[in-house]
Structure 1
Amino acid sequence: MGIDAIIVLIVIVVAIVLFATEWLSIDLVAILIMMALTMSGVISAEEGLAGFSNPATITVAFMFVLSYALLKTGSLQRIGPYLGPIFKRNFNLGILIMMVFIGIVSAFVNNTPIVAMFIPVMVSIGKISGISPSKLLIPLSYASIFGGMCTLIGTSTNVLVSGIAEKSGLEPFSMFLSAPIGITFLLVGSIYIYFFGKRLLPDRISESDPSERFAVRDYMTEIEILKDSEFVGQRIMDSILAKDLEIDVIEVRRNGNLFTLPAGDFEIKSGDILKIRCDVEKIKALKDRLKVSFNTSALRINENELQKGDTSILELIITSGSEFVGKNLREMDFRRRYRAVPLAILHSEKVVHENLHSVILNAGDIILTEIKMHRVQSLKREEMSQSSPFIVLSEEGIIDFNRKKFITVLSVIAGVVAIASFNILPIAISTILGAMVLVLSKTINMRELYASIEWKIIFLLAGALSLGVAMHNSGLADMIASVFVDQLGGWGPIAIVSCMYFITSMLTEIMSNNAAAALIAPIAITTADKLELSPYPFLIAVMIAASASFMTPIGYHTNTMVYTAGQYKFRDFFRIGLWLNILFWILATFLIPLFYGF
């Protein structure tokens, strides 16, 4: 093994550790991979940077734009009112219809924003039909994964594997190359959930009232500022309420006027009545240190009091790619940025009420917050972008359906698919053309175009492509492929396809699916070359396995998104996903050679 191969192997091991532990964000890890391989001389600077101009990267970037435009029309949310009555009459039929619908949409639209938009829809359906969200959200995530396997543009992983194949001198994948195995998995997966999976889904009834779910009532009270209080004349941000005790002022009543979520520079006056959120110890500290009068009857406030005024109580789920991950609310300037006050945080399956601004947030955490009503709509619009930090778990702020724009976007997506399918233009060019049509038709503007692209995924793809080049240049792909051929060659190519599927699937459970595909795809191509067989069955196995992550909530980003919203535990995913992983592995072993041939 040469020095270059050793360097690449070390980089891979370190990368797997970093991906699995999430000590660093996945896009940063990918860029560090590219820099390490370039600086060590394993790949040239041109090869390292080529990932940014690769057709796969360009295609994924502009598919994000098409996805955003479709979601902006509000069309997908219209399915909610139709599904609710179906679930109420027949849960089994509702699950089947929902999974097939989400699967079909996910075949042509990026599944992350689809799941983000449908989480509150499915929670609402659960309330209407009396079904626990835990019975609905894992099927939602799985259906989006099934659908993403069906077309080239269904998920960024498919485009990445096609890009690696093209860079190796192979023909790029056609739009529906993966459709035979993808549609089979969509149907089999939906049937599995229909007959068996639903029995394994937990039934955890959650409190419909967020104030009960987060137990915030004991942490809300009112104080009246007396005339000789040290508060008089102070700005909220300068008072010990904010500086020392970190108490949030939610509302100020003054001479019949109501000021909700007052800004930090709001000046306190004698006679003001402040509604505050705090814990019992801080209430005691206020009594001991300050001249204030407590409204003890407000220590327990009812649901109507929480909702009154021009504010609303929302639950915000931290997404897997959120800029809030690894940071606290103070660092993100949460109150000033969103004009919102955190009331509680559901963190690592525990409700936190104290020192909320100091809690280090993870993907899947839920922030219960009181927010200005006019910010709800902007949050819902922000939620549609790929880089949205939150999923808004609320029935409020539903985006209005725009029929004209929906027809325009649907026509553009159909045109992109048709142009690419008939090889009129390369997929990268057709997606750019589609995005430009949307801008020229004023369906979206250029600011929305830039904002809709998930740059984290773009950087991840660029870094992952450089890893594939390094494996080829260093000879590491050739060495690993030789092991496959030597150890499994006697069992035939079907055994090698099965082994590659299994390894990719297991890697995806602990690291990024794109990284897993980038790692194994060059090995698949080299193995096929050594066996003098078609590389496509091997690449299809890698591509499908990289998306088939069902056993853990961290293997695929949509699983992470539904993890807390459905009040799941880690074992829930393992219990239902283990058998699905095994079923898909067996099916892939025999169907991929049958559909694609060697």
Structure 2
Amino acid sequence: MDSVDIAMALTFVVIASTVVLYAVERYAIETIALGSVSAFIVIFSVFPVERPDGSLITTGDFLSGFSNPALITVICLLIIGQGLFQTDALEAPAKAIVKMTRGRSLRAAIPVLLTVAALSAFLNNTPVVVMFLPILTAVAATVGQSPARVLMPLSFLAILGGMTTLIGSSTNLLVANFAAQSSDLKLTFFSFTPIGLIIAGVGSIYVLFIMPKLLPVRKTMAEEFQSSSGKQFIAQIEITYGHPLVGVESVSGMFPQLKDMTVRLVQRGQKPILPPFENVVLSPGDTVIVAATRAALANALARRQPLMEADSDTSNSGREAQAPAGTISLAEVVVAPASRLMGRTLPQSGFYTDTGCLVMGIQRRSRMPRMAMNDIRLEAGDVLLVAGSEEAIARLRGNRDVLLLDWSMAEVPRKRYAPRALVIFALVVALAASGLVPIVTTAVAGTFAMIVSGCLNIRQAMRAIDSRIFMLVGASLAAAVALEGTGGANAIATGLVHLLAGASPTVMLSALFFIVMILTNFLSNNAAAVLFTPIAINLANQIGASPEAFVVCLIIAANSSFATPIGYQTNLIVMGPGHYKFNDFVRAGTPLALILWLTFSLVAPWYYGL
């Protein structure tokens, strides 16, 4: 065996081992990906392989995937999505969708997902997924559903929609152009739309009604901590001149603008007004004492016209001090035993002066006192909801008077920047969909715009980058270099031709679909399409059949990138926000790929008269 054959054999071993290790999930994806890249570098250093032009495959070729434009695009789109999340820019559209569907999560998701599939037939599906990902995430959050149940279906339906028209994906155009150059076949815009709709329709039934049941609800530790907390805090809202609640009148004993809070008391000067509130009109100088969950208080703080101020001058409001301007985070702390805060009220404690954090609410497990928050004397075990900068909250770890609950820290959405974020997002999607500017260009520019406009800071942008995606893409592109450089991909294609010699057209078509379907989940779909287009045409010519059936088979199979996150760009985009693991795609995507294969194997011979 020469060095090329040895390198090819070892390449197959590394790829197979990598896929198995990804699937068993015993080791971190980043570790496995780095190990596979290292293995390729060592193999090709020991057994040098030349390209057809005579140049050697070098270490730089295996590392070039980490600067691939597709990878940069995915990372930048994740950062842009983080900008929409940080500003809560899509809260209004999400609530409108939920209202139209009467709050039922399945009803809310299905129309959006079907819209995605329809748009993907005429637009590049990557910007379509980017556009709808934050909307679906917001819809899921509004109805209390895990995003994991809707984001993988989002990617899969975009791929299914893209296989129904000639411009549905770049793969379709690539195969059609290659076929036109090497044969007399001229595919038109809707040439394969009828059979594409049949295949996509069958796949959509699985994606919408069966696949969500296979997807685990997986959250980060912080999300689990926050979502499990339905406890109520005592808080107070100071009504000042120009406050959004000035002039609000009670209706049926309640205040409609505070529907997600329980108003326990309105303090007007020295006079307390107790519920039920009849004909009470809020005016400047009033203090509204409420019981509310952390989510309700965060929403009151994050509104474009906040009901509660964490960064306003408190000299007129009775607050102890003012919180720092800029990005505000919320966290929960527990008053420690023997704390100096015990027996003191908040104004007496000097908590803000000592810590730089402002107390927004107090929660007491034993009872909920009906008095102003600033009049409550603190006890050991009281939970304080505090607001401040991330640095100020981090310093609470060294404070002996309170115990910081680390996983409770979360940033308050900066809703005042929501219009900017929406404009940036709309421009990125519009330019990418128009084709006038490469999507990587719009993604990089959009990322810069999100940061420079204040929608995100550098730390928030860096947090949006998923190391799993970075390593997965880099390692998969290194594997593609090894396969193509050693001739491994060509060897698979040649073996298929010999294997199918003398078989019936139906068997040939089914086998071609199956092989391409497998390869497209590990190579890029464009690479698989380019490799097999001449093979598909040759197979058709050998049996005297029209090449259209084989070329369409190749188009649909190359688009069947469901079984791995590295199979298609949109899978990588939803992997981070959905908290998916590699095995989630194997579990949910493999049945879909097999369903499409079986459906095509049954429908295509009838449709093309083979």
Aligned pair partner of 1:583 in 595, 598, 601: 595
Q: Which residue of 2 aligns with 1:319?
A: none
Cα gap change, 1:5 to 1:110, in 2 (>3 Å): same
Contact 1:464 1:515 (8 Å CA) reproduced: yes
Residue 438 of structure 2: aligned partner: 430
Note closer, same or farther for the CA distance 1:494–1:141 as it changes in structure 2 (3 Å cut). same
Aligned to 2:351: 258
Map 1:481-492; keep pairs closer than 5 Å.
Answer: 481-492=493-504
Deviation at 1:23, TM superposition (A): 4.0
Partner in structure 2 of residue 326 of structure 1? none
Mapped to 1, the partners of 2:211 and 2:74 lie a distance apart of 33
Deviation at 1:544, TM superposition (A): 1.9
Partner of 1:197: 210
- 2:348 counterpart letter in structure 1: N
Q: d(CA) in 1 for partners of 2:188 and 2:393? A: 41
Q: What residue number does 1:11 align with?
A: 14
The residue aligned with 2:72 is 61
Opposite residue 197 of structure 1, the aligned amino acid is: I
User: Secondary structure, in 3 states, of the residue corresponding to 1:369?
Assistant: strand
CA distance in 1, matches of 2:586, 2:12: 31
1:589–1:257 CA distance, 2 compared to 1 (3 A): farther
- 1:2-42 Cα offsets, whole Å, 9 max, x none, are 32332322232333234334544165356335524532313
The CA distance in 1 between the partners of 2:59 and 2:172, in whole Å, is 17
**What's the counterpart of residue 258 of structure 2?**
none
Partner letter of residue 222 of structure 1?
V
CA distance in 2, matches of 1:470, 1:42: 9
| Equivalenced residues, count | 441
CA distance in 2, matches of 1:532, 1:202: 40
Partner AA of 1:369 in structure 2: S
Q: 1:48 to 1:397 in 2, by over 3 A?
A: farther
Counterpart amino acid of residue 586 in structure 1 = L
Offset, 1:493: 5.4
Counterparts of 1:593 and 1:448, CA distance in 2: 56
**Distance in 2, Cα, partners of 1:438 & 1:212:** 31
Establish whether residue 35 from structure 1 lines up as the match of residue 41 from structure 2: yes
Structure 2 partner of 1:147: 158
2:141 maps to amino acid: S
Counterpart among 94, 108, 118 of residue 80 in structure 1: 94
Pair 114,75 (structure 1): closer, same or farther in 2 beyond 3 Å: same
Query: What does residue 98 of structure 1 align with?
Result: 112
Amino acid at match of 2:559: I
CA distance 1:478–1:19, change in 2 (3 Å): same
1:42-77 residue CA offsets vs partner (Å, 9 max, x unmatched): 355557645777999435634765786588577755
**Equivalent pair of 1:536/1:596 in contact (CA under 8 Å):** no
Identity, in percent, stands at: 16
Inter-partner Cα distance in structure 2 for 1:54 and 1:199: 32
- Rounded Cα–Cα distance in structure 1 between residues aligned with 2:216 and 2:18: 37
Cα distance in 2, alignment partners of residues 456 and 99 from structure 1? 26
CA contact (8 A) 1:42 1:474 kept: yes
Displacement after TM superposition at 1:97 (Å): 1.0
1:292-303 to 2 correspondence within 5 Å? 295=379, 298=382
Amino acid across the alignment from 2:555? I
Q: CA deviation at 1:85?
A: 1.3
- What corresponds to 1:138 in structure 2? 149
Query: Which residue of 526, 531, 540 maps to 2:539?
Result: 531
Which secondary structure does the structure 2 equivalent of 1:491 belong to? coil
Cα–Cα, structure 1 residues 92 and 411, in superposed 2: closer, same or farther, change >3 Å?
closer
- Counterpart of 1:480 in structure 2 is 492
SS in 2 for 1:255: helix
Instruction: Name the residue aligned to 1:409.
Output: 428
Q: CA deviation at 1:223?
A: 2.3
Structure 1 residues 365-394: Cα deviation after superposition (integer angstroms, max 9, x where no partner): xxx423464xx54xxxxxxxxxxxxxxxxx
Q: CA deviation at 1:95?
A: 3.5
Offset at residue 147 of structure 1 (A): 0.6
